[in-house]
Each structure stands twice: as C-alpha cells, then as structure tokens.
Chains A and B, each alone.
With several copies, the nearest count.
Chain A
Amino acid sequence: MSRLEVNLAGVTLKNPVITASGCCGYGREYDKLYPIERLGGISVKGTTLQERQGNPPCRIAETPSGMLNSVGLQNPGVEAFLQNELPHLKSRDVAVIANVAGSTVEEYCAIAERLDGSGIDLLEVNISCPNVKEGGAAFGTSCTSAAEVVAQMRRRTSKPMMVKLSPNVTDIVSIARAVEDAGADAVSLINTLLGMRIDLKTRRPVLHNNVGGLSGPAVFPVAVRMVWQVAGAVKIPVVGMGGISCWQDAIEMMLAGARAVQIGAALFADPYTPVKVVEGIDAWLEQNGISDVNEIVGAVRPW
C-alpha cells in the first residue's frame, strides 16, 4: 500500500487529491496535459436530472487572490453523463465522484436512483450551489432541509454519499451533524462563498447573475476553519477544499481534519496544481518519515 492511499467512505483513493466539481469538466480537458490517473479522484461537473443551460454570461469575475463564478450548473443532464462521459471515466484508474444537484427533493432522489446501478464510485450531493434560483444552496442552509434531502436519497441508492456543504451559514457544524445523522457517509466542504463585483464604468455587476461564488486562495482560511470545526464534530470523513493552491495548503487542510482534498480554482492559474500537490505531499511525508498520510489527518494540536 502506498503511503498516499486513503479510504473515503469505503472508496479507496490512491492519493488524497481530487479535482473539484465544476473545475475539471468530466476529466477530458486536463487529461491532455497529464493522465488523470495521477489524481486520487475526480469530482465531475454538477449534474442535474435534465440538461441545464446555466446562467447568461458574464459568468466569471476576478477578485484579489480569487474569483467569482456564476455558471449556474450548466450540464447535459444525468442521462448524457451516463452515456457520454462515464464510460471513458470508468476506463481510467481514478475514483469517479458524481456531483449531483436538484431543484427539488424528488429530483435529487431521481438522480440518486439513476446513478445507483452505475459505475460511479461516490455520490457528492451538492446542496450548496449559490448560483441557481431553485434548490442549490437553499437546501444547504438549513439543517432540516439538508437532512431531508440526504435521508430521502439514502433510501434510493446504495452508493456512498458525500454531502457538500455551504459556507454561507451561521453554523456549519450543525448542518454537518444533521446530514451525518441523516445517513451521509462523508461531507465535503466548502462550496463557494457568495460574493459580488461591480464594474465602475458601467455601474453594473460584473456577473450577469449579479452575485456569484467566491473561490480560490482568498477563501482558504475560512475553509480550514470550517473543516477543523466539522472534523471535530462528526465521525464520518471530511473532504476539505477551498483555496488550495499548493501542497502546503493541502497538508494544512489535512492537519485540520480533511481525509482528502479537492482542488478547483487553482487549476485555472496552473493546471498542473493537483499533480504538484500529490508530489509535494509525498515528498513531505518522505522527509518527515511519515509512512501513512492518514497519520496527519486531524493532527493539528489546538492551543
């Protein structure tokens, strides 16, 4: 067993580095730079029951050490995913995480059911997308609705379920606990923080959706804090993300309590980031004589 291997809700990842949903499509694009087998896993673009066109452009704005996006879950729908994307992903040695979203509990359930018999390794339940009017973050900002979605889906699928939490809440710990109690096998966090930019010349929001989700290094300290709080409060594994742009960040996130990490916005600045993170963690473990990356998960010693 490699010292980088981790187990996520029964799924073995050869290393703890996953590319984040919405930032790596269905794995075809970055595969042109390096084989996606270098990754521990890939979380695909948020997939809905039906095809979605997403929000009108402009969908991206630059911010200090970060970016806003308002894609709004553009995706071809679950059937197209199964037909056109999953086969090539399954032919590759990488864990496939299906990031899914719905506008109603029924939709979440229908997708869960449809994916139940499929080849995906793990469901990532996105109850935290800030860029869609219905569903999305609405489910992720209350314990009751978050638990409801998860409990209902639980009955429709035997796939391990990882619930993706919103940072735009007063108390992320109670939401994490609620979804754990409802049957989640893991939680991933953070999705994006809601933000806005305005163009001085036009006096209009840069994003056509007015607001969008903030990600990138700017949010890293918020993500570390939330991962630390949640990891201390739940028993299921926590996957940490938000602003990771180098291997040091990944280790910091793991010390805070993350079993694995996801990398999103950093891909846009440097598409090789995930590969460098894998190599960096490995070298650091070597230098520090640590034979198993799991040893550092949650190893921070608070004051």
Chain B
Amino acid sequence: MAYLQGCYPLVGKEQLTAGIYSYTVSCPEIVSQAVPGQFVHVRVDGFSLRRPISICGIDTENGLLRMVFEVRGKGTEALAQLVPGQKIDLLGPLGNGFTPPAGQQVVLVGGGIGVPPLLELAARAGDRATAILGFRTASAVILAEDFRAHSCDLRLATDDGSEGYHGFVTGLLEERLAEGAPGMVCACGPMAMLKGVVEIAEAHGVPTQVSLEERMGCGVGACLVCACKTVRDGREVFTHVCKDGPVFDGKEVVFA
C-alpha cells in the first residue's frame, strides 16, 4: 500500500465539544488511497514526534479528509491552534483499516474519542450498521448527528445516564447481539472497553475487529516502537500498531 507525505491546507475547523476539534483537510492524493480505520501521522511545529490521528471521514469526490481529535497534551494543544488556510503536514494513509464483510450487518462500538474512526464505516454501511457509542456524559457526546445522517441505527450510552442508555457500551452491545448476529463487530475505544466488546462478541460467535493505540515513532513500520502483544500462529509476539494495525482481529489481541 502506498502512502504519501505532504503539507495540505486546512479547509475546515469546527469545535465539537470542549477540547475536541474536527479538521477538514484538502489532500486528494491521500484521500484517494484511504480506507476507514486507517490513520494519518500529523506533524506539529515544535514537536519531534508526529501525532497519529484516525481518519474520520473520506470525501473522495472533493478530496477532503476529516479527522477529529481531542486535546490531550502539548502536541494536540498546538495542533488545535491552527486556523483554516494554514497548512498541515500529513503522512498517510497509514495502517490497515476495518474490513467488515461486504453486504452484511455490522455493529460499530465506539467509546469517547474512539468514536471518530467508526464514522466512515457507518457512512459505507448505511442502514446495515448499528452504531453503539459511549461517552462520559451528555456534553461529551460527539458526532451523533453525523452517524444519524448516515441512517444507521444509533444507540447512545453515557456513563452517568445523562443521555441515552445509562451505563457502558457493553450493555448495549449485549442487547444488540441478542437481537441477532451481525457479520462483524468493529470497535474503537479504551482497552478495557475493547476487551469487554471482544469477549461479548466472541460469546455470540461474532468476529471482531478492534483499533488499538500505542505511542508511535515512524508510523510506517520502520522503527518498531509501537509494539502490541498479539497472538500469531499460536504464539504471543509483539506486532506493531502502525503497520500490522491499528485495526486487529479481536481474537489476536492479548488484553493485559
């Protein structure tokens, strides 16, 4: 798979909720290669390492790439200062995306800032998708309208019950699977959530794909820093999130 590096104009910026921004970048070359679940590696002025951010939207027609990120530390804070018109240095698209079986139902499970990578999947699956999205509280909910716009079956959960289901996404997932088995569950979010999702789906005999996070150097498989423990050919080995992932078969992942 080919990837590119370049400086591309930021054409749209929107704050979704406190500390979370949606950026639209015009980068037709990257967009034309991208699939849902891949990421771009973003250079931020003044920082030695790039920041990996998942691809949230792929608008091939207009060559626009969307990414949604949360301010977590100094790098994302600096990234959030950009204004439309400025350029942004991207390396991508990188890694392997989600590959839900064509034409079948798919359940998307996202937690917090793990939600954005699922949006483009929803866009492609339309009403075959159930999107189970969990957030801390009502004010932290993002992208709900976007998922609805893609006519998926949207089910919200909040930890504090301030919106939708009161509890974790795993509860909603149990409910959904009880209604019938989809072709796959695709998930992104905190490790604890992913572990629960994989366990539940496996109990229902449904295959899973999960998107993992690890700190990165190169982003392309050259430096081996982004190790994550997975089972390959029956033994536990360190594979690499940037190259072998970020999307892994849920069965392969060794949850600590």
Which residues of A are in contact with B by a Cβ distance under 8 Å? Answer: 22-25, 28-30, 32-33, 45, 53-67, 69, 71, 74, 216-217, 265, 267-272
User: Is B220 within 8 A of A29, CB to CB?
Assistant: yes
Question: In the complex, are the beta carbons of A57 and B215 less than 8 A apart?
Answer: yes
**B91 contact from A56, A61, A271, Cβ within 8 A:** A271
Which residues from chain A contact B216 at a C-beta distance below 8 Å? 60
Count of chain B residues with Cβ under 8 Å from any Cβ of A? 31
A-binding segment of B17-25, B47-55, B107-115, B119-127: B47-55
Q: Is B224 a contact partner of A74 (Cβ separation < 8 A)?
A: yes
| Alpha-carbon gap, A228 to B228, bound state (A) | 27
Contact with A58, one of B5, B215, B222, B243 (Cβ below 8 angstroms)? B215
Known: A23-B218, A29-B243, A269-B50. 4 other contacts (CB 8 A): A53-B238, A60-B216, A69-B225, A269-B48
Chain B, Cβ-Cβ closest to A33: B5
Instruction: Determine whether B207 belongs to the interface, using a CB cutoff of 8 Å to chain A.
Output: no
A67 to B75 alpha-carbon distance, docked (Å): 14
Residues of A within 8 A of B238 (CB): 53-54, 56-57, 74
- Complex-state Cα separation, A268 to B1, whole angstroms: 19
Report chain B residues within 8 Å CB of A57.
Answer: 214-215, 225-228, 238
The DSSP consensus for interface residues of chain B is: loop
Question: Could you tell me if B222 and A265 are in contact, using CB atoms closer than 8 angstroms?
Answer: no
Distance between Cα atoms of A65 and B47 in the complex (Å): 7
User: B224 contacts A71, CB within 8 Å?
Assistant: yes
Contact A22 B226 (CB under 8 A): no
CB pair B227–A59 under 8 Å, yes or no, is yes
Q: Flag if A60 contacts B215 (CB, 8 Å).
A: yes
Among B4, B220, B228, residue most surrounded by chain A Cβ atoms (within 10 Å): B220
Using a CB–CB cutoff of 8 Å, the interface residues on chain B facing chain A are 1-5, 43, 47-50, 75, 91, 214-229, 237-238, 243
CB neighbours of A56 from chain B (8 A): 227, 229, 238
Inter-subunit contact B217/A33 (CB<8 Å) = no
Q: In the bound complex, how far is the Cα of B48 from the Cα of A32, in angstroms? A: 22
Contact B223 A71 (CB under 8 A): yes
Task: Name the one of A29, A33, A62, A270 contacting B47, with C-beta atoms under 8 angstroms.
Answer: A62
Contact assessment for B48 and A69 in the assembled complex, using a CB-CB cutoff below 8 Å: no
Residue of B nearest to A30 (CB): B222
| B215–A53 CB distance below 8 A | no
Nearest-neighbor residue (CB-CB) of A63 within chain B? B48
Q: How far is the CA of A303 from the CA of B249 in the complex (A)?
A: 29
C-alpha gap A62/B51 in the complex (Å): 11
The answer on a CB contact under 8 Å between B220 and A59 is no
Provide the residues of chain A in CB contact with B1, threshold 8 Å.
32
Considering the chains assembled together, what is the distance between the CA atoms of A265 and B48 in angstroms?
A: 9
Q: Are A22 and B220 in contact (CB under 8 A)?
A: no
Q: Establish whether residues B49 and A268, one from each chain, have CB atoms under 8 Å apart when the complex forms.
A: yes
Taking a contact as CB atoms closer than 8 A, the residue among B5, B43, B222 that contacts A25 in the complex is B222
Interface centre among B2, B4, B50, B225 (most CB of A within 10 A): B225
Most chain A beta-carbon neighbours within 10 Å: one of B214, B221, B222, B243: B222
Q: Report yes or no: B222 in contact with A23, Cβ–Cβ below 8 A.
A: yes
With contact pairs A53-B238, A60-B215 given, residues A271 and B220 touching in the complex (Cβ less than 8 Å): yes
Please give, as numbers and ranges, the residues of chain B lying within 8 Å of A32 by CB-CB distance: 1-3, 220
> Chain B contacts of A270 at CB under 8 A?
5, 43
Q: Which residues of B contact A63 (CB under 8 A)?
A: 48
